[in-house]
Structure 1
Amino acid sequence: MGADSEETIMFRAGVSRRKFLQWSGAGFGAAALAACVPAPGAPAAGSGADAEPVVIRFHGRTGVQGDHFIERARAFEEENPGITIKEELFPHAEYHQKMEVLLAGQTIGDTFWTVLLSGLYHRYANQGVLLALDDLIASHEYDLGVFFPESLDAASHAGSLYSLPWICHPGRVGCYYNKQLLADNGLEEPPADGDWTFEDLLEYATVLTQDTDGDGQIDQFGMQPGRDPWSLLVWSRGSGGEIFDEEGKTSLLDSEETLSAIRFVYDLMHTHNVAPSPDQQTADMFVSGRIGMAQSGYWGQSWVNRIGDRFELGAVPMPKGPAGINGSMYEFDPACIWAGSEHPDEAFEWVKWLANQETGIRIAEAGSVPGSRPDVWEHERLTKSPIHNVFTNIMYNVLPYRGPGNFRGLEFRDAYSNGMDPIWLGNEEPENLVPELSAKIQEILDKPAS
């Protein structure tokens, strides 16, 4: 992606053969780094029998991923006794704010997790917060050929890599379902290859939506669609639409195709009454058996832990829309090194550990998503799960990521959520409000890169 501008975070569905071979052989040119950044490849500060261990600070989220990071850190330390990992984990809702405070005070850790969707990864790369890994990749003779090409393309900025891909997935593409409810209502399980339509889903949802106690109120819904922008994108792409243009410079939220997708999801809630609106939906409706189908990503498999023995969980790709395709979007989470780290080599050893095969398998087994490597997705420890295999098939046909080209993903997210709430609540028709919201999003896209 050396030809991509600094304003662009879009990646192609693949990379050129020349670029991929160049990366796979670790043949990067040296990146221009700030003079204060330690030179990669220097002798490890913790080397030598009597040396004190080098402490590498790491930031990530609490929860399933945080527990995973802690477990992998202890395993890493056993293999690398000269390096100690100090985890500093924050709740998801506070994570980005905490990171901004640490960056402002120049007290950020050596390494950290971030995410593609927020735009922060490319923003940090653009601002010089992240260390370009080109020289470290070359000096460590690290093989990048183990990763999905899409991961390398997504991780690149202005011709350099600023992270190693940790995990990846094809978006909010799973239609999970309650096998017992479908069987009880005479419905066959949807096709595992995703060859079904929006209309088919509506038929299923209509049968599954019921007033089970006869009080005149619906207490079992057929479908729970996602309402966030990346869930909507699955419906939009199935309809032939997008939220952004290819460069992330133009809002397409009010395009005919995307507006029709919004209308379909709106109608599920407020015309057909087969999906709960936000004010009807309560926690755990799906896992308690009060919703028949639900949209989610790979991580939805972890619902089995809360479902228990109530029913068996199934999953297929979300249906095809009017465009005749199943919507999807490639996403990945990177592991990064701060450009000001005093121990770049030791930090890189830790980042490599997070990107290895075993780590990629374990994070999927923990209830998150697999590592960004084919040898993870195809490993027998994961392929024994039929649901995993549904997502694997989507991964090999995944559509590319698109986000704001000026890296203002958080601003977009907030504007979208605030603007769409009246629609999802049924207070406004999509056609009345979406053009106004699209104009607000365009104002965000017109701002300079953050």
Structure 2
Amino acid sequence: MKSKSKFAGMLVLLLMFALSACSGGGPSGDSSTGSPSSPQPGQEGSGETGKKAPVTIEFMGHGNPNEKKIFEKLIASFEDKYPHVTVKYTSVPPGEYSQKMTTLISSGKVPDVFYVGGPEFYRFAEAGTLLNIQSYLDQTTLFNPDNVWKEALDRYRFDGSKVGAGDLYGLPKDVGPWAFVYNKDLFDEAGVPYPSATAGEWTWEDMLEAAQKLTVDRNGDGKPEQYGVGAYALESAVWANGGEYIDYETGTVKVNEPEFYEAMQFVADLSLKHKVSPNQEAEQAMNAYTRFVDGSLAMFAMGPWDQPAFWELPFEWDIAAWPASPNTGQTATWLGSMGFAVSAKSKHPQEAFDLAAFLSLDEQGQRENYQLGQAVPNLIDMAEGEFLQMEQGPKTRQVFLDIIEDYGRPDVIAFSKDTQWMDLFNQNASKVWNGDMSAKDFTAEIHQQMQDLYDKGNK
């Protein structure tokens, strides 16, 4: 789930996130009790004695080539642990995954295990696509549920009407804290103090002052060769300022409130007014991710999945807390997640569950996962222990855990089954980023349209 080249303030993810589930443990789609004919834990492939019959299961995910290599290694480890199981692994480009899953579901060829994330989880829950795995978890000795991030597990609960409560229909592939990353070498060269790793200590004003000193136009043509900050997360600014995109309890869109549009204007002014962030034209010429990795952008954003690429960078870097709004003193950022789900129609539900559980919660699998730089461990004791002691960057990797435990929030569309209301916002926000409209005027204009679309698709 993981885009690295997002326009400033338009990081509303996108990809990833919290799927919750459906079909109550069987093809019938009863999300409360499960079908009487549903396969139950221990019925297939779970005997403790005797030779087990060979089983082949299909697993489909998405990601970049590095993620594919990581999962190939993890699957090989799983097959060593479960020698009677062969995993047929397919990785598709992220942009093609949703359509591919839709096609497979329509044709009745759903993989045994597959990624779930974002609004699809809600939709799959209603459609009866996912296996209720609560009974499998209740009988497993693989892990202690108190040792798994609640913030991760709750993304895959569904009680028949809402996400976040009830039985588990998926397991977290990861919990993705979106951190604020900075180039230490550029800070050192400019004599600028590093951002604080402690939430609330470094404000928007501090960030802007640092960005101004770190923006360099060497030939004076008005187009800096080096920028102070890029792709600043709009969600972080809005939430830190006390704003909301929506109140999900009442279904009320709230983009027209001062806390929202003032934060949006702050993000827009980083390029429009202060010139410390690439504008849309500059972003199209070279995106912020590319600028950061080539050393010409001082502050950016990263997820744990970026670690392998960042370990190869020729400069020193670290992560900090996102800047706090001076109006509230609060810090915020989004906490993404992708999950593993088991098909309600799998012919080998026990083996499929075993694979999902291994990839999500098995100690060996989790250790390999974080050592390969894929994610923060889902197991709390591992995350707070050996993960923090890694030699590779970031040095202040405690920030990842602070985001999970303290100031990270699910991405905006995580609990919305229809996203047209947010699509409308993102498709038109360039009016603000280009300076054609103020954030106040834009949000006033689009607010009712967003509300109408939300009501139509989600109520």
> TM-score, normalising length from structure 1?
0.84
Change (3 A) 1:219 1:426: farther
Partner SS for 2:223:
coil
Q: 1:254 aligns with which of 253, 256, 265?
A: 256
| Separation of aligned partners in 2, 1:253 and 1:298 | 30
| Separation of aligned partners in 1, 2:304 and 2:151 | 18
Change (3 A) 1:405 1:390: closer
Question: Does 2:364 correspond to 1:358?
Answer: yes
Change (3 A) 1:299 1:437: farther
Alignment of 1:178-257 (within 5 A): 178-194=183-199, 195-226=201-232, 231-247=233-249, 249-257=251-259
Question: Does 2:425 correspond to 1:424?
Answer: no
1:137 Cα deviation from its structure 2 partner:
1.8
Alignment of 1:120-131 (within 5 A): 120-131=120-131
Report the counterpart of residue 389 of structure 1 in structure 2.
Answer: 398
Change (3 A) 1:438 1:408: farther
| Separation of aligned partners in 1, 2:413 and 2:300 | 27
Report the counterpart of residue 313 of structure 1 in structure 2.
Answer: 317
Alignment of 1:7-22 (within 5 A): none
Indicate if the aligned counterparts of 1:126 and 1:157 stay in contact, CA closer than 8 A.
no
Question: Does 2:60 correspond to 1:59?
Answer: yes
| Separation of aligned partners in 2, 1:360 and 1:315 | 22
Partner SS for 1:341:
coil
| Separation of aligned partners in 1, 2:138 and 2:197 | 42
Report the counterpart of residue 45 of structure 2 in structure 1.
Answer: 44
Question: Does 2:369 correspond to 1:373?
Answer: no
Question: Does 2:148 correspond to 1:167?
Answer: no
Indicate if the aligned counterparts of 1:164 and 1:351 stay in contact, CA closer than 8 A.
yes
| Separation of aligned partners in 1, 2:152 and 2:55 | 29
1:279 Cα deviation from its structure 2 partner:
1.3
Question: Does 2:143 correspond to 1:136?
Answer: no
| Separation of aligned partners in 1, 2:250 and 2:111 | 30
Instruction: Tell me which amino acid in the other structure corresponds to 2:264.
Output: I
Partner SS for 1:329:
strand
Partner SS for 1:397:
helix
Indicate if the aligned counterparts of 1:46 and 1:54 stay in contact, CA closer than 8 A.
no
| Separation of aligned partners in 2, 1:53 and 1:241 | 54
Report the counterpart of residue 293 of structure 1 in structure 2.
Answer: 299
Change (3 A) 1:388 1:127: same
Partner SS for 1:189:
coil
Report the counterpart of residue 424 of structure 2 in structure 1.
Answer: 415
Give unmatched runs, 5+ long, in structure 2: 1-16, 20-30, 160-165
| Separation of aligned partners in 1, 2:448 and 2:312 | 41
1:298 Cα deviation from its structure 2 partner:
3.2
| Separation of aligned partners in 1, 2:280 and 2:211 | 17
| Separation of aligned partners in 1, 2:309 and 2:263 | 27
> TM-score, normalising length from structure 2?
0.83
Change (3 A) 1:46 1:61: farther
1:299 Cα deviation from its structure 2 partner:
3.5
Question: Does 2:443 correspond to 1:445?
Answer: no
Report the counterpart of residue 12 of structure 2 in structure 1.
Answer: none
Instruction: Tell me which amino acid in the other structure corresponds to 1:346.
Output: E
Residue by residue, what CA displacement relative to the aligned partner does 1:1-38 show, whole Å, maximum 9, x if unpaired? xxxxxxxx999xxxxxxxxxxxxxxxxxx942246643
Change (3 A) 1:152 1:347: same
Report the counterpart of residue 26 of structure 1 in structure 2.
Answer: none
Instruction: Tell me which amino acid in the other structure corresponds to 2:258.
Output: E
Indicate if the aligned counterparts of 1:46 and 1:83 stay in contact, CA closer than 8 A.
no
Equivalent residue pairs, number:
414
Partner SS for 2:406:
coil
Residue by residue, what CA displacement relative to the aligned partner does 1:316-367 show, whole Å, maximum 9, x if unpaired? 1111102111113333221110111111111111111012233233333333
1:448 Cα deviation from its structure 2 partner:
4.4
Indicate if the aligned counterparts of 1:406 and 1:449 stay in contact, CA closer than 8 A.
no
| Separation of aligned partners in 1, 2:368 and 2:453 | 38
Instruction: Tell me which amino acid in the other structure corresponds to 2:83.
Output: P
Indicate if the aligned counterparts of 1:10 and 1:247 stay in contact, CA closer than 8 A.
no
| Separation of aligned partners in 2, 1:37 and 1:102 | 21
1:176 Cα deviation from its structure 2 partner:
1.4
Report the counterpart of residue 26 of structure 2 in structure 1.
Answer: none
Question: Does 2:353 correspond to 1:344?
Answer: no
| Separation of aligned partners in 1, 2:332 and 2:228 | 20
Report the counterpart of residue 81 of structure 1 in structure 2.
Answer: 83
| Separation of aligned partners in 1, 2:249 and 2:441 | 27
Give unmatched runs, 5+ long, in structure 1: 1-8, 12-29
Q: 1:328 aligns with which of 324, 333, 342?
A: 333
Partner SS for 1:112:
strand
Indicate if the aligned counterparts of 1:181 and 1:292 stay in contact, CA closer than 8 A.
yes
Report the counterpart of residue 266 of structure 1 in structure 2.
Answer: 268
